[in-house]
Amino acid sequence: MEKLMSRILQDGDIHLGGVLKVDTFINHQIDPVLMYDCAAELLERFSNRKFNKILTIESSGIAPAILAGYIAKLPVVFAKKAKPVCMGQAYSATIHSFTKDNDYNVMISEELLSADDHILFIDDFLAYGDAALGVIDICRQAGATIEGMGFLIEKKFQNGRYAIGKSDASVKVESLAIIESHLGF
């Protein structure tokens, strides 16, 4: 997606260890018009799949996911990183964050995900694929079907797409901006 790629080239900043800083339009300050366009493009790319719910992980996936939900008029569920006292039984998975170099749990209430659900997952980045694998795990626990996984930015050199395919070959993966190599950025 031309618009996102040129914004990355203009305002993105590559850090040691292959971390791309996009704090001025995705991760800290958010450009809602760009996020809207990204959400619309992701929906277009998954228009051949039928889904009834959009899933993401807090916090940076929420902006594009909620705009996709707004356009498609579908509910948006975000996996929480901390369990509120009022949450009942929940599906959960442990995810390794390479940007923070730690493990964290994500959970989704059993009330919000079931075997009837067909899911479009949306997130800001696809790197090694750990977050995506956590979501695949949670959906398996619920018996939900993942129709697709859409990302704003994929860092191809970290092979997340391969990790997803190895875990579930039926999941369609789409990314709007693909960074081929951290050297080439």
Contacting residues toward ligand 5GP, per CB under 6 A: 19-20, 22, 27, 60, 97-99, 123-132, 155, 160
Least distance (Å) between residue 93 CB and ligand 5GP = 11
Q: How far is the CB of 47 from ligand 5GP (least distance, A)?
A: 24
Pick between residue 29 and residue 97 the one whose CB is nearest to ligand 5GP: 97
Q: Which residue is nearest to ligand 5GP (CB)?
A: 127
* Closer by beta carbon to ligand 5GP, 24 or else 27: 27
Residue 21 or 140: the one with the smaller Cβ distance to ligand 5GP is 21
**Nearer CB in complex with ligand 5GP: 52/105:** 105
Q: Is the peptide bond before 59 cis (omega within 30 degrees of 0)?
A: yes
Tokens of 182: 């951290």
Name the residue nearer to ligand 5GP (CB basis): 60 or 145: 60
Q: Give least dist CB 69 to ligand 5GP, A.
A: 18
- Closest separation in Å from C-beta 100 to ligand 5GP: 8
Closest distance to ligand 5GP from the beta carbon of 125 (Å): 4
